[in-house]
Structure 1
Amino acid sequence: MQIISCCTILFILLLNMLCTGKENKDGNIIFDPPEVTAVSGLCALISCTFTQGKTQLQTVQWKVCNKPSECKTIFEMPNRRRKQSETEQIKWLEPDLSKNNCSSIIKEIKEDEREYAFTIVGHGQNSHNSNVKIIIQDEPIMYVPLLSEGEEANLTCPAPFPCPETPPEITWWIKTREGNIIDLKDNIITLITSKILYLSTLTLTPTSDLHNATVGCDVSYGSKNISTSGTLEVMYVKTLRILGNGKVMEGDTVSLNCSVESHPPSSDPVWSFNGTTDIVMNQTSAESFTITNVRKEHAGVYGCMRTYRNKILNASITVVVIRDTNESKVNESFSPGSENMPLNDTRNTTGIEDFLNNLDMSKILTFVAGMVCSALIFSVVLCCYVFCHR
């Protein structure tokens, strides 16, 4: 047991000596972050710290690498020829090397300059270097979630913020399918800044009118502008309706249409008649059907059911069948010599027939009673007249 403990202690001491010796011998360079996003033609801020270990520092260098094996020195400090901390492409932010700060601004990033190397050079040509990658981004990356009508959502547009000398300005815009520009003053736009990017968030409550509309994000770095755009996809459903005539003459044709506007599309309709789906009809399409030669048994309530994202949509319409009350039609005949003159004039006979049809028993009795009373009164008057002239 004691032998195992001693071996363990010796191993830990040996490992500590090896690690300590390596740390003291070699330098160390840290980039934060290790990758920087930049816009071509603009500058980039490289945050950098270093330690030189036991190596006596002689100089530090910045190199640009088109390929890992093809690097050229673009900055050296201290420079025996020029005692300055800025060149045409590099601005050294901390001239005091004892502070171990290698942060720099690289100006006018070019498309073919994607990697930069920082090198610590000590006496005896001992050197240690590390690379930082530059990611060129010439348009913002916009994130648009799947939208639902009436539900608040956040659209984000991160823009590179590689250089404090040119902070970006981000603006949003929305153009409808008809080409109208939406005013976004009633929406919330927030901005979060960091040392590597600007993040603009548009808080939007979409409607169905914004489906397939175009949303854009414009970023301005002074005279340098980058932009991007995308299409809004809004999930929505309108009210289910049955279109058609609710009143139809007997013998005519009735056509009903079950219509609903939605995205994504709803299921095919299921029709019912007076609560049952066992109806006989001549279907013309998935959304409509037609009944020809309508009879009185076709009158009733017609229903339509569709499914939208597990939601049941229902609508109904009541169809009334009207019967033709003019069952007996008079066939008009015309004389050969008079085209518009009827052969038989039935106006007088029609009046007499109407008078006779309107007579009833009570009217007849009233008429007879009146005649009897009149005869009695006339007889009394006549008798009085004869008696007085005797």
Structure 2
Amino acid sequence: MELKEYWSDSYHSRDFKLTRIGFVAIRFRWLVALLIIGIAGWVAVDWWVLDPAHFKLLWKVRLITGVMLTPLLPLSYLCKLNRRWMILSIYSLLGILLTFNLVSLWSFRDGAEIPVGFIAFPYFLLALLGVLPLPVRSGLRVAAVITLATLATDYWLDSRSLSNGDLIDRVWLLLSFSLAMIWVQAGQLRMLLDLYRESTRDPLTRLMNRRLFVRQLEDVRHHSGVDRPYTLILMDLDRFKRINDDHGHLMGDEVLVSVANTIMDIFGPEAVVARYGGEEFMVLLPHTGLEQGQRQAETLRLAVESQPVESPLGEGEVTVTISAGVVEGDHTSELQALLRQADEALYTAKSHGRNCVVAQR
């Protein structure tokens, strides 16, 4: 995992973004439910430790806070649909809880001793939010909101409480808990991304697997328009079984990795590339017509043929060729029919003697 992937989700694939948002939505829902139960249940503790005057106000504050948190439960289901809903949900939660903390502290304006639980509430909130797998940039924003709101609350209630020594202590604690929250969130993000890649990537070539490719194809098909076609290229290594039989499976693996790297070099980051089968690769070219896709497939065929693969055991080189079928789709294309058409185009290329590209409308 690269450092930039820790920093921002703009470096994540669209599919992983949706996966992460769904994961955040589930954890957010449980977090809100536990907060509703905890805030309401703490009324019994307040009744035990607070004097009647403070308890009379605070139980109402807790009840109102619980009611305000309740709409976040159904809102969490919308988080799975759009990143903006997730951001709205998280900052709504922060706003409600920080307001609860402000009113709770304000209730002790008469000089009564403030229970340590109310003073420690911002740190408790930072610790809780560590369960969300947020990028570092998002975590910094959340930490900044909590830190600034806490310091502003302290100043508003009693500006004298923020003398030099107290201010330094308060800021140091808030920064320490903020860094701990961001560290845990980054660890959660790393774990989720590693699991995602293990389940969606081919372990040999590091290309996406067939399952993820079909999801990506469906997404491109859904968002394409009449004037925004896309092209599918299904390719197969010619006589790959003979390479395995004559040179061994280690050489066969080296050939697969070499061809995968060549595909990525030719098509670049905009293409969606997958290891579709044993020796089959599939390339999806968004916003690309059939003729352009055929030209790019031909460029790839020539590149593969002109780059012999060296044996990892130093036993010479093997010349590799590919056959490819190229088809064009748009938003009206039926997924299975399109895949079947690509397979037929590849079969035609094989029947024409291999080492060629066939485009089929």
TM-score by shorter chain over 0.5: no
TM-score, normalising length from structure 1? 0.21
TM-score, normalising length from structure 2? 0.22
Question: Which structure is higher in RCO with an 8 Å CA cutoff and minimum separation 6?
Answer: 2
Normalized per residue, the structure richer in strand is 1
User: Greater CA radius of gyration, 1 or 2?
Assistant: 1
Normalized per residue, the structure richer in helix is 2
